[in-house]
């Protein structure tokens, strides 16, 4: 589904990704762990097409297409979802309005009929309920006045509504208490654990992986993947840290 080969990327002319390669098949969940400054968030933003993240070498193929040739909205329409470490606030735009426009824009791009207001509201309420989120919160401006946990639940509601093929989740566990972590982890499993979907989890800690068990764990250091293994690798990192592996 996703094939990254020798990816190099810079931010403000500073090299961050320095030859990263990774292959993710449909039905798989991969976790990327690593120290601060290793390039984890840069990888997510580069895949999402954020301005200012310049690819200088390498290739990325998503579902058979050249991902790097697509604009950010085209990547989203192709089935790529990027979850942010710090979801942004959008004053003046309700979550319901934002999500309905996003979903119908993607449906139009895929040649599907758009959802009516009633159809969309039913879908949004179901997704909110599954994440133990009061549907009334979706009437509020996007993330405005939300706690960290509420922002992450809202992002999972968004993912459930958009139903992507590949979710790239950047430190989704950041700011979550124990209960919210369980709810968000269960949401990821419910929405994305399927034979035609895949997940790339970017995280510092083992704790999210207790709920969303990955097929593979990779260590990212100095812009490259320096080690890969199974779920046991995350426990090893928790015990021993990154120092020896990043050396």
- So what's the pLDDT on residue 245? 62
**pLDDT surpassing 60 at residue 246:** no
- So what's the pLDDT on residue 84? 87
pLDDT bucket at 247, cuts 50 / 70 / 90: very low
Region 26-41: mean pLDDT is 93
Q: DSSP letters of the chain?
A: -EEEEEEEEEETTEEEEEEEEEEE-TT-EEEEE--TTSSHHHHHHHHHT-TTEEEEEEEEEETTEEGGGS-HHHHHHTTEEEE-SSPPPEEEEEHHHHHHHHHHHHHHHTTPPPPPHHHHHHHHHHHHHHTT--GGGGGSEETTT--HHHHHHHHHHHHHHH--SEEEEESTTTT--HHHHHHHHHHHHHHH-STT-EEEEE-S-SGGGGTS--SEEEEEETTEEEEEE-THHHHHHHHH-SHHHH-
Express as a percent the part of the chain with pLDDT over 70.
Answer: 98
State pLDDT tens for residues 53-99: 999 999 999 999 999 999 999 999 999 999 988 888 999 999 999 99
- So what's the pLDDT on residue 244? 63
Q: Domains for the chain: give ranges and CATH numbers.
A: 2-246 (3.40.50.300)
State pLDDT tens for residues 172-230: 887 788 888 888 899 999 999 999 999 999 988 788 899 999 999 999 999 999 999 99
- So what's the pLDDT on residue 15? 96
- So what's the pLDDT on residue 180? 86
């Amino acid at each position: 589904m996703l094939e990254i080969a020798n990816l190099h990327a810079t931010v403000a002319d500073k090299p961050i990704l320095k030859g990263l390669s990774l292959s993710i098949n449909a039905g798989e969940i991969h976790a990327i762990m690593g120290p601060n400054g290793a390039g984890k968030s840069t990888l997510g933003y580069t895949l999402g097409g954020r301005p200012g993240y310049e690819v200088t070498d390498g290739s990325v193929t998503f579902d058979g297409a050249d991902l790097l040739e697509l604009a950010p909205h085209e990547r989203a329409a192709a089935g790529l979802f990027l979850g942010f470490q710090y979801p942004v606030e959008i004053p003046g735009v309700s979550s319901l309005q934002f999500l309905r426009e996003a979903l119908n824009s993607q449906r139009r791009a895929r040649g599907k009929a758009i959802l009516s207001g009633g159809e969309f509201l039913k879908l949004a309420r179901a997704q909110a309920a599954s994440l133990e989120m009061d549907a009334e919160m979706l009437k509020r401006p996007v993330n405005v006045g939300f706690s960290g946990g509420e922002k992450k639940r809202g992002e999972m509601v968004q993912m459930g509504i958009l139903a992507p093929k590949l979710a790239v989740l950047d430190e989704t566990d950041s700011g979550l208490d124990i209960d919210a972590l369980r709810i968000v982890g269960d949401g990821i499993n419910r929405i994305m654990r399927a034979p035609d979907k895949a997940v790339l989890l970017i995280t510092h800690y083992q704790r999210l992986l207790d709920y969303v068990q990955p097929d593979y764990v990779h260590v990212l250091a100095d812009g490259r993947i320096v080690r890969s293994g199974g779920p046991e690798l995350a426990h090893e990192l928790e015990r021993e840290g990154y120092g020896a592996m990043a050396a």
